[in-house]
Amino acid sequence: QHIVRPNNDNDLEIYQIAIEHWNNGKRLNYAELPKRLIKHTNTDSFVNRFQVVNGKGVSHTVVAHIAIDGHYYIHPDKKQNRSISVREAARIQSFLDDYFFEGSRTAAFKQIGNAVPPLMAA
């Protein structure tokens, strides 16, 4: 279930910028993007809508919204330029690699985001 979602060119360009910021120890503020990349008129709310997952430490929690888009879960490797996969989201939440999620990719992301992480439940 290492399936990644497709992204449009605009989002992929934003992912590259977010990863550059992350690599320089900063977080991307949506309002700081080039105007041509800003598609939402409200730049005061959800200014952190594009976040890179910490690949070398503790990640932020995976929530069910990941089923809608992966903007808050950008893979830290700039060469991959994508959001995280179902399996990577599951690992962050402490699911074993052999755990199978039923249904579509969207359904799997919802299951992961709505679940209590197994290590926390134990």
* pLDDT of the residue at 3: 78
Q: Which domains does the chain have, with CATH numbers?
A: 9-121 (3.90.120)
5: CB partners within 8 A, 6+ apart: 69, 70, 82, 83, 105
The CA-CA-CA angle for residues 17, 65, 112, to 5°, reads 110
* pLDDT of the residue at 103: 94
- Other beta carbons within 10 angstroms of residue 25's beta carbon come to 6
Alpha helices in the chain (DSSP H): 9-23, 86-92, 105-114, 118-121
Helix (H, G, I), strand (E, B) or coil at 101: coil
67: CB partners within 8 A, 6+ apart: 106, 107, 109, 110, 113
Q: Which residue has the tokens 């497709």?
A: 6
pLDDT tens for the chain, residues 1 to 122:
677 888 999 999 999 999 999 999 999 999 899 999 998 877 787 788 899 999 888 888 899 989 988 999 999 999 999 999 999 999 999 999 999 999 999 999 999 999 999 999 87
b/e code 40-65 from CB counts within 10 Å (16+ = b): eeeeeeeeeebbbbeeeeebeebeee
Task: Quote the CA–CA distance of 53 and 61 in Å, as a whole number.
Answer: 10
* pLDDT of the residue at 48: 85
